């Protein structure tokens, strides 16, 4: 089992470490495959791009693939399915015309004005979150070949036992971490196999294309200056040391500490997207793992809100106790169960939290502490996440501090629908900036190991 696509990508990246010395480009299949591919590209130090393909569904049974198409005019047809379904060439052309229009839309959405990463003379590593029928993966390999790749490697976390026979000769090498039996669907091997939104894919590709100059909102905001501090670090939390990622823009207004939900980590693509938008508005961010790898093996720890809140409080104390970070106002951003931990920690005596944002949060898990929260709190909930919306309404009624509830139309719990994550991130940005910019105190001049600060 993989926790999620990021976990699968890290494991797959470790398997592909031997490619780090070759001229390689990693190509992710959207949308979920790009999340896996982003981790692979980091692990082997290779450029990341998207390889665009679309399934061709049987007209009267669109979930059944009769083939796939890709960029550069690539088309793969499953003759056996076409014969069995009695599909005519004209029907195939009709389906293909619709899918090619969607292919062009996705190319513009994901790459924007950027050109595809050149593949001539390089090894193309095609990555997806898994292989089922193999038609889209085959088309992706053919696209890579058509763009001049000298060698094509297809790498996935999981595939059926007979996948090599399905793939034929479209790839020079096939790599799967697992080929379990029985195999019914890719999702059965992931704890979290929720859909990945277009916003997440676009943000990952933008970050990979320009890893130093972090963009705020990739659709609306102008580029921001490179962050002087953007690094992995070890965070002290009581008796344990946790892994974190700190980004500090120059003259930061404040620091937002992220408290992720169950089954997630500092690598969460959704939280990283939100963090990039906050960085673009002049806010420092710290994403850290709430538990050690050993603690994560006990699933009870993932839902121990008191333990997680304690970790958040310990990390906040660590921030305030050393270096140039000590003078910054601190805010908490919590998602799902992480929002309960953020509210619990904010209610502790002397917490002095400037603002809290809960995205799709479970504040009911911190119900006994809500009355003690003094920090201005923003609740962001998807309009289609009706159970959680009711929980947030009840929680808000229990609080005595400044609160606001914003419902994002058309969004479900994970904000995976187009545009919804961007809306949540923009709301978070405005809330933190509005409650941090006027708090005074020291403002950080990031640089030299973020040790300098000024009034």
| Residue 438, pLDDT score | 59
Domains and CATH numbers, the chain: 5-198 (3.40.50.2020), 215-454 (3.40.50.1820)
Q: Give the residue, 359 or 419, on which the prediction is more confident.
A: 359
Tens-digit pLDDT profile for residues 251-272: 788 999 999 877 677 888 888 8
Query: Which of 108-112, 137-141, 352-356, 395-399 is the least confident region?
Result: 108-112
Return the structure tokens found at 125.
């590593």
334 neighbors 358 (Cβ within 8 angstroms): yes
Instruction: Calculate the average pLDDT of the chain.
Output: 85
DSSP class of residue 325 equals G
The angle formed by the CA atoms of residues 100, 103 and 106, to the nearest 5 degrees, is 155
Q: Give the residue, 238 or 162, on which the prediction is more confident.
A: 162
| Residue 214, pLDDT score | 34
| Residue 135, pLDDT score | 80
275 contact partners, CB below 8 Å, separation of at least 6: 247, 256, 258, 285, 287
Average pLDDT score over residue span 43-64: 88
The phi, psi pair for 193, rounded to 5°, reads -120, 35
Q: Could you give the CA distance from residue 234 to residue 394 in angstroms, rounded to a whole number?
A: 37
Which CA distances in Å does 176 have to 28, 48, 157, 158, 292?
15, 19, 5, 6, 27
| Residue 270, pLDDT score | 83
| Residue 330, pLDDT score | 95
The phi, psi pair for 424, rounded to 5°, reads -65, -40
The phi, psi pair for 336, rounded to 5°, reads 55, -125
Tens-digit pLDDT profile for residues 331-369: 999 999 999 999 999 999 989 999 999 999 999 999 999
Please report the DSSP string for 32-101 in residue order: HHHHHHHHHHHHHT--EEE--EEEEEETTEEEEEEEEEEGGG-EEE-HHHHHHHT--HHHHHHHHHHHHH
The model's confidence at residue 106, banded by pLDDT at 50, 70 and 90, is confident
**What is the spatial order of strands in the sheet that 240-248 belongs to?**
229-237, 240-248, 283-288, 254-259, 330-335, 355-359, 377-382, 403-408
| Residue 210, pLDDT score | 61
């Amino acid at each position: 089992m993989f926790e999620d696509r990021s976990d699968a990508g890290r494991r797959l990246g470790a398997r592909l470490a031997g490619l780090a010395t070759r001229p390689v480009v990693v190509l992710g299949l959207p949308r979920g495959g790009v999340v896996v591919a982003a981790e692979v590209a980091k692990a082997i130090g290779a450029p990341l791009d998207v390889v665009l393909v679309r399934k061709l569904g049987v007209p009267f049974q669109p979930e059944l693939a009769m083939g796939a198409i890709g960029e550069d005019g690539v088309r793969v047809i499953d003759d056996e399915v076409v014969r069995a379904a009695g599909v005519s060439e004209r029907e195939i052309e009709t389906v293909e015309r619709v899918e090619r229009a969607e292919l062009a839309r996705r190319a513009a959405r994901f790459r924007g004005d950027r050109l595809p990463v050149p593949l001539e003379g390089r090894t193309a590593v095609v990555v997806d979150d898994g292989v089922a029928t193999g038609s889209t993966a085959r088309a992706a390999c053919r696209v890579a070949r058509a763009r001049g790749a000298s060698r094509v490697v297809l790498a996935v976390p999981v595939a059926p036992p007979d996948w090599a026979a399905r793939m034929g000769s479209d790839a020079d090498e096939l790599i799967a971490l697992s080929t379990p039996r029985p195999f019914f669907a890719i999702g059965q091997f992931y704890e979290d196999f929720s859909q990945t939104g277009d916003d997440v894919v676009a943000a990952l590709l933008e970050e990979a294309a320009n890893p130093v100059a972090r963009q705020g909102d990739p659709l609306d905001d102008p580029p921001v200056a490179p962050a002087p501090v953007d690094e992995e670090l070890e965070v002290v939390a009581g008796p344990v040391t946790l892994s974190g990622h700190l980004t500090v823009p120059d003259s930061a207004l404040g620091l937002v500490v992220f408290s992720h939900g169950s089954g997630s980590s500092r690598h969460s693509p959704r939280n990283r997207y939100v963090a990039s938008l906050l960085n673009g508005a002049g806010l420092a961010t710290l994403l850290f793992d709430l538990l050690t790898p050993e603690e994560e093996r006990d699933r009870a720890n993932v839902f121990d809100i008191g333990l997680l809140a304690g970790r958040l409080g310990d990390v906040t104390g660590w921030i305030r106790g050393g270096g140039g970070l000590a003078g910054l106002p601190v805010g908490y951003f919590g998602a799902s169960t992480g929002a309960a931990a953020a509210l619990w920690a904010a209610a502790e005596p002397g917490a002095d939290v400037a603002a809290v944002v809960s995205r799709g949060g479970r504040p009911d898990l911190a119900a006994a502490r809500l009355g003690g929260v003094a920090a201005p709190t923003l609740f962001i909930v998807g309009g289609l996440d009706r159970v959680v919306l009711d929980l947030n309404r009840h929680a808000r009624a229990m609080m005595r501090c400044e609160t606001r509830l914003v419902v994002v139309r058309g969004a479900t719990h994970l904000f995976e629908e187009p545009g919804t994550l961007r809306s949540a991130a923009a709301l978070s940005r405005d809330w933190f900036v509005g409650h941090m910019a006027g708090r005074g105190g020291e403002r950080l001049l990031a640089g030299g190991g973020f040790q300098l600060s000024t009034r």
